[in-house]
Amino acid sequence: GAGVSQTPSNKVTEKGKYVELRCDPISGHTALYWYRQSLGQGPEFLIYFQGTGAADDSGLPNDRFFAVRPEGSVSTLKIQRTERGDSAVYLCASSFTGNTEAFFGQGTRLTVV
Amino acid sequence: KQEVTQIPAALSVPEGENLVLNCSFTDSAIYNLQWFRQDPGKGLTSLLLIQSSQREQTSGRLNASLDKSSGRSTLYIAASQPGDSATYLCAVDGASGAQKLVFGQGTRLTINP
């Protein structure tokens, strides 16, 4: 596609529910990143994929968060047993390979009520 | 641990002025420094990427410089326009070989007509 696409753009869920956020990177980009941005803050790193494998998941806050990229293209960020503190904008980015220019999607605004 | 600081946190100037946004980082072993623009409720738009071997990059009215040894970058905006109003974020990657971006908190810029 022309850019990084994230769906849904907004998600409201009840505390304790499970959510999935989807990212469709730029075609041909092998590197894919997930970040989380709270209001008034810069984005914070969650996980980095090179191809199908998670090369660095050091930013995932706890084991309720999990991400996959089974075919090396689309990625899904999965959050179990959501908490109100998970409310944030979740941003996905892709780049041709690691340490090259990153391009971001529009984000998914997650609200846990 | 890499830390990125942006000063000032907010800046308001009249239209037509030239301005400088500042970014500093604690670990000089970076691959790239990237400047982004973020409009309210939107994702990040890449403005400029400076590789560690470069000292500056230019795009239109924007010029970004990098002094890796001192851990500093500046974004210069010439002849500011109201459409430049946004939050500007700088980010670095590659510190200690990590292929992830570490962001500052951003500078919220307002250009007054």
What average pLDDT does this structure show over B75-101?
90
Give me the residue from B41, B43, B104 closest to A91, CB to CB: B43
B76 pLDDT more than 80: yes
Chain A contact present for B45, CB below 8 A: yes
B99 pLDDT more than 80: no
Chain A: give the shortest CA distance to residue B103, in Å.
6
Dig out the tokens for A31 from the structure. Answer: 């590197």
What average pLDDT does this structure show over B71-85?
97
Nearest to A91 by CA among A59, A52, A50: A59
Confidence (pLDDT) at A1 = 53
Angstrom distance (rounded) from CA B58 to CA A74? 33
Interface test with chain A among B4, B50, B93, B100, by most A beta carbons within 10 Å: B100
Residues of chain A above pLDDT 90, percent: 89
Q: In this complex, do B44 and A104 lie within 8 Å of one another by their Cβ atoms? A: yes
Q: Tell me, what amino acid is at B95?
A: A
pLDDT band at A8 (very low <50, low <70, confident <90, very high): very high
Residues of chain B above pLDDT 90, percent: 84
Residue ranges of B 53-72 with Cβ closer than 8 A to chain A: none
Residues of B in contact with A55 (CB under 8 A): 99
Confidence (pLDDT) at B96 = 59
Average pLDDT, chain B: 94
For B30-98, give the DSSP string: -SEEEEEEE-TTS-EEEEEEEETT-SEEEETTEEEEEETTTTEEEEEE-S--GGG-EEEEEEEE-GGG-
Q: What are phi and psi of A86, to 5 degrees?
A: -80, -10
pLDDT band at B77 (very low <50, low <70, confident <90, very high): very high
| Neighbouring C-beta atoms of residue B22, cutoff 10 Å | 15
Nearest to B75 by CA among B101, B56, B94: B56
Radius of gyration of the CA atoms of chain B, in A: 13
What chain B residue is nearest to A88 in terms of C-alpha separation? B41
